Amino acid sequence: MSTPDYSIEQTIHAQGFRRVVGVDEVGRGPLAGPVTAAAVILDPAHIPEGLNDSKKLTPKKRAAALEALLASAEVSVAHASVEEIDELNILRASHLAMMRAIQGLSTPPDYALIDGNLLPRDLTLPAHAVIKGDALSLSIAAASIAAKIRRDEVMAALAQQFPGYGWEKNAGYPSKQHREALQDLGITPHHRRSFKPVHNILYQQKNLSD
C-alpha cells in the first residue's frame, strides 16, 4: 500500500511555483447533506506526521492530523449545498466547493493539485488533476482530512435536527438505517432530490397523490 509523499509538490516547486495547494472533496456519494471541499497549502518545513488519505485513518488520527494542520498549514474548507447539487449535478457542485475552498485561502496559491481526473472549469491558475491524489500527494491527503472532518461535523449537527436517519454515523451515505428512515420518516430538506433513491420515493409519492 503506497502512502502519500511530497514528491509531486517538490517537482512543482522546482518549476518556480512556491504556493502549491492540494484540493480534495468529500461527500459525492451521500443521499443527504452538502458536498465539502478543502484546500491546503503545507509548509514544506513543517509537514505534520501521519498524513494519509482520510479513509485510511481512524477518527482519532484524523482529528490529531487536522489539529496539527491548523497549527502549521493554510487550510480553507467550503461547501456546495444540496440545492446546488440538484441544480448543477454532483460533479459540478464538487468543483464549485473546490473553487470556494481555494478562494477562501488568505493568499492565492500559485499552483493547484486537484484530486480526481478533471479540473474545475472555472480554475484559472496552473493546475493538474491527480487520480487517487489523496494516496499520492501529502497536500491532497491533508485536504481530504480537513474536508472529511468538517463535513462529518455538519452531518452530526443536522442529525440533531432530523433524528432517525443516522447521519451522525453514516454522514448521509445510503446505509440500511438511512434507506429505511427515508421510507418511514420521509424526505427532509437536506436530501438530494436528484439522487435516484430520493427521486424514486418522490416519484412514488407523486403517483400516489395523482
24 is in an annotated binding site: yes
134 is in an annotated binding site: no
Mapped onto helix, strand or coil, the DSSP state of residue 22 is strand
Question: Looking at the DSSP assignment, which residues form a beta bridge with residue 24?
Answer: 38
83 is in an annotated binding site: no
112: Cβ contacts below 8 Å, ≥ 6 apart: 20, 21, 22, 23, 39, 102, 119, 123, 125, 126, 127
d(CA 207, CA 119): 40
| Half-sphere exposure for 84 (CA within 13 Å, toward CB) | 15
Going by the annotation, the residues of the binding site for a divalent metal cation are 24-25, 115
Going by the annotation, the residues of the binding site are 24-25, 115
